[in-house]
Structure 1
Amino acid sequence: MGFGFRKSFKIAPGVRLNVGSKSVGLSAGVKGLRYSVNSRTGSRMTASIPGTGIYYTTSGGRKRNTPAYNRQREIQARQKEMDRLDALEQAALEVDLYENKLERIHSIHKEADEPINWIKVRSANPPYHRNEGQIGFHEQTALEKLQNYKPNLISKLFKQSDKELENLKNEVIEARQRDEIDYRSWERDVRIATKVIEGDIDTYFEVIQEFNPLDDLLEFGSSFEFFAEDSKTMEIEFDVHSDTVVPKEQLSLTKTGKVSTKQMPKGKYFDIQQDYVCSCLLRIARDMFALLPLDTVYIHATETMMDTSTGYNRKITILSVKIEKRTLNKLNFDKIDCSDAMQNFIHHMNFKKTAGFSEVDRLTID
């Protein structure tokens, strides 16, 4: 890939920081990063990462909203009742799970987060003007509650007013601390946004690590490595693991309601595999363009396959594509065939319906 000398450092379970003579990269293959929601910036729903203060603007949170993902949630709810289902209901659920997995495989590219407006984040007003002696919202509310306190008859009768006053004073202290956290969070927001806008590559990788935009692909077993040498172009290696994703058997219900299991025809298996890989690549590009101010991404899909010349498994590149933001944004993601959509971009792919993918050379960055 032309990255020169590179070292790899393990910085967390499943996450490796790759440092080279010309580039820095982050490899993320671990689940668990999640989002908390706040409304400090107004009506926008924003996802924040504890300890960083970064906000990821979305249209209603990170909930996946395509029909396939909605169907998955319904099925998962039914799974919880599995023990109480009779044999026919269990069979129907098993087939539903199979069909939903195929739907999700073909819908991955439709799921993408809303772009972050880093300029808006950088220009956001502080929660309060601390330098002007102003106090924060939480402290102001707690102070008003303390100042307006009047012991009721029961408090006077049982001599609880002193204790209640002490509790209200403690609430003021806690509220002041919450305001301080909000203010520091705003400062970090501005700092991170400024660095992203300025094209600081180290900050790019920090943002990717924290937001983990491809979390649902990690659930399929995939993993990723990100590399960059300039602020407008990123290179991503996508380890597919399609053998754990694409079903090798077809499930259906018989007339009597039982599960029928048949071997997946090779042609159909390879067709699903191709759609899965291409759908993932489009999704990866969409999320990277939403998260960072990039113009171009190079994505290399890799797979571990048997090398018949040695008899050992070897990781190979099965698809390499250069995706430009301007071209990607012209696609109608609800209508496209993901495999056919590769024709819109410079790419290397050698795929046969009877044999699937074979090894290709990677594209090199212009």
Structure 2
Amino acid sequence: MGFRMRKSFKIAPGVRLNVGTKSAGISVGGKGLRYSVNSKTGSRVTVGVPGTGISYTTSGRSYNSAAYSRSQELRRLEREQAKLEELERNKLIVEIYENKIEMIKSIHKECDNKIDWIKMEKSKPPYYPEKGEKGVNEANAIEKLQAYRPSFIDKLFRRQDKKIEGFRYLIEVAKKEDEKEYNSWKELVDIAKKINNGDIQAYLDVIDEFKPLDDLVEFGSGFEFFLEDPDLIEVDFDVNTESIVPKECKSLTKTGKVSTKQMTKTKYFDLQQDYVCSCTLRIARDMFALLPLNYVVVNALEKRLDTSIGKRENEVILSVKIDRETLEGLNMNLIDPSDSMENFECNMNFKKTGGLVKVDRIMD
């Protein structure tokens, strides 16, 4: 294999929302505490110290004043509100969990807008300075100067010259803004020409500048790009399964509590496969949207224990060569990301109770 131009960057994992039930739970009562209501004797609270035989009993009092009655009512409402807040909090915990599962399986549905480099190369400048034209900002500033008419106050305090000087200053500022816009246009056209001519370094510069995969910060700890041919790019990405795919299932019970159960191996590994394949499709889509490529090779890497050396090393668990025409023909809203790999040249070995196992890279 020939010399490869390489550029890579790492993306730090995103901040995740962690909600703990212990920190917000409302507990009422405790060991040795009982509350009872009797139609004859009224309410009664009994407090006992376990293991000592000591207890204290008091009868609830019936208050006649409106203030006391209202106070009791407010306390009751407060307790109900606390229960309601706990329920809403539990609903949020489950909703966040379900949303994360859905996002993991739907990464491929998002995509950056396609850049038309040919159209960009042919785009017209904001103005033609070589023809003596002025930019929009400068023209507007000159128009304001020409429209200026000294007011009575300006004449009275002789402020005309100062006002005119201010307008002329704004004209110079506007002129610099126009020059900046023109230079930005020129730079973009120059980049477009290089891209359309298959300049590999320009490809890498565009990737570094546009950072197309930055929004995948939560779905991979790093990306590395390899380019030898302007028709094909190879992308390595760290899947980071252990920190992304949850190992527990969360649901809401009939009583409004959060039920947390260990996820079955088959469900966990199915989710892992969908996550890896969904990321793979998204990477290819973003690369095709950004650059005039025909092929994207994606290698999914995961750190696993190499028992021969006793260290965790990167292993390729998926390698796929995706062509633009086939990818653009898929319905991203209806496909199963794992099943979609069948459309491409793909090295993937999935075990129901073992997940994705090591495979060879596709040699481009």
| Both structures adopt the same fold (TM-score exceeding 0.5) | yes
Quote how far apart the aligned CAs of 1:256 are: 2.1
The aligned residue for residue 26 of structure 1 is 7
- Determine the C-alpha separation between the residues in 2 that align with 1:138 and 1:200: 35
Name the Cα RMSD after superposition: 2.2
Amino acid in the other structure paired with 2:162: K
Query: Between Structure 1 and Structure 2, whose CA radius of gyration is higher?
Result: 2
Answer yes or no: is the 8 Å Cα contact 2:219–2:279 preserved in 1. Answer: no
- Determine the C-alpha separation between the residues in 1 that align with 2:156 and 2:110: 61
Amino acid in the other structure paired with 2:10: G
Amino acid in the other structure paired with 2:236: E
Quote how far apart the aligned CAs of 1:160 are: 4.1
Answer yes or no: is the 8 Å Cα contact 2:266–2:353 preserved in 1. Answer: yes
The aligned residue for residue 358 of structure 2 is 359
Tell me how many residue pairs correspond in the alignment: 298
- Determine the C-alpha separation between the residues in 1 that align with 2:227 and 2:175: 41
**Inter-CA distance 297–155: structure 2 relative to 1 (3 Å threshold):** same
- Determine the C-alpha separation between the residues in 2 that align with 1:337 and 1:303: 22
Asked if residue 187 in structure 1 is aligned to residue 210 in structure 2, the reply is no
- Determine the C-alpha separation between the residues in 2 that align with 1:164 and 1:89: 61
Aligned pairs (5 A) from 1:279-358: 279-358=278-357
**Inter-CA distance 280–221: structure 2 relative to 1 (3 Å threshold):** closer
Aligned pairs (5 A) from 1:73-92: 86-92=85-91
Answer yes or no: is the 8 Å Cα contact 1:226–1:237 preserved in 2. Answer: yes
Local SS of the residue matching 2:361: coil
5+ residue gaps, structure 1: 4-21, 33-74, 76-81
Answer yes or no: is the 8 Å Cα contact 2:12–2:221 preserved in 1. Answer: no
The aligned residue for residue 232 of structure 2 is 233
- Determine the C-alpha separation between the residues in 2 that align with 1:86 and 1:143: 61
- Determine the C-alpha separation between the residues in 1 that align with 2:154 and 2:263: 74
Aligned pairs (5 A) from 1:1-366: 2=1, 22-30=3-11, 86-365=85-364
Local SS of the residue matching 1:286: helix
- Determine the C-alpha separation between the residues in 2 that align with 1:137 and 1:315: 54
Quote how far apart the aligned CAs of 1:222 are: 2.7
Answer yes or no: is the 8 Å Cα contact 1:279–1:339 preserved in 2. Answer: yes
- The C-alpha deviation readout for 1:281-329, integer Å capped at 9, x for no partner, is 1111111111111111111100011224443212100000011111111
Amino acid in the other structure paired with 1:313: R
Answer yes or no: is the 8 Å Cα contact 1:31–1:215 preserved in 2. Answer: no
- The C-alpha deviation readout for 1:47-93, integer Å capped at 9, x for no partner, is xxxxxxxxxxxxxxxxxxxxxxxxxxxx9xxxxxx9x9932222211
**Inter-CA distance 124–279: structure 2 relative to 1 (3 Å threshold):** same
Amino acid in the other structure paired with 1:333: M
Q: Return structure 1 stretches of 4+ with deviation > 3 angstroms.
A: 153-163, 308-311
Quote how far apart the aligned CAs of 1:226 are: 0.4
**Inter-CA distance 299–156: structure 2 relative to 1 (3 Å threshold):** same
- Determine the C-alpha separation between the residues in 2 that align with 1:199 and 1:31: 31
Quote how far apart the aligned CAs of 1:344 are: 0.5
**Inter-CA distance 86–164: structure 2 relative to 1 (3 Å threshold):** farther
- Determine the C-alpha separation between the residues in 2 that align with 1:183 and 1:337: 46
- Determine the C-alpha separation between the residues in 1 that align with 2:229 and 2:178: 37
TM-score where L is the length of structure 2: 0.78
- Determine the C-alpha separation between the residues in 1 that align with 2:247 and 2:162: 68
The aligned residue for residue 8 of structure 1 is none
Answer yes or no: is the 8 Å Cα contact 2:220–2:237 preserved in 1. Answer: no
- Determine the C-alpha separation between the residues in 2 that align with 1:124 and 1:205: 23
- The C-alpha deviation readout for 1:207-233, integer Å capped at 9, x for no partner, is 111111111212334311000111101
- Determine the C-alpha separation between the residues in 1 that align with 2:185 and 2:235: 31
- The C-alpha deviation readout for 1:133-157, integer Å capped at 9, x for no partner, is 1111100000000111113344444
Answer yes or no: is the 8 Å Cα contact 1:240–1:302 preserved in 2. Answer: yes
Amino acid in the other structure paired with 1:242: T
Quote how far apart the aligned CAs of 1:159 are: 4.5
- The C-alpha deviation readout for 1:82-120, integer Å capped at 9, x for no partner, is 9x9932222211211111111111111111122211011
Amino acid in the other structure paired with 1:28: F
Answer yes or no: is the 8 Å Cα contact 1:146–1:169 preserved in 2. Answer: yes
Local SS of the residue matching 1:315: strand
Local SS of the residue matching 1:27: strand
- Determine the C-alpha separation between the residues in 2 that align with 1:261 and 1:31: 28
5+ residue gaps, structure 2: 18-23, 25-81
Answer yes or no: is the 8 Å Cα contact 1:220–1:244 preserved in 2. Answer: no
The aligned residue for residue 59 of structure 1 is none
- The C-alpha deviation readout for 1:197-251, integer Å capped at 9, x for no partner, is 0000000011111111111212334311000111101111111111111111111
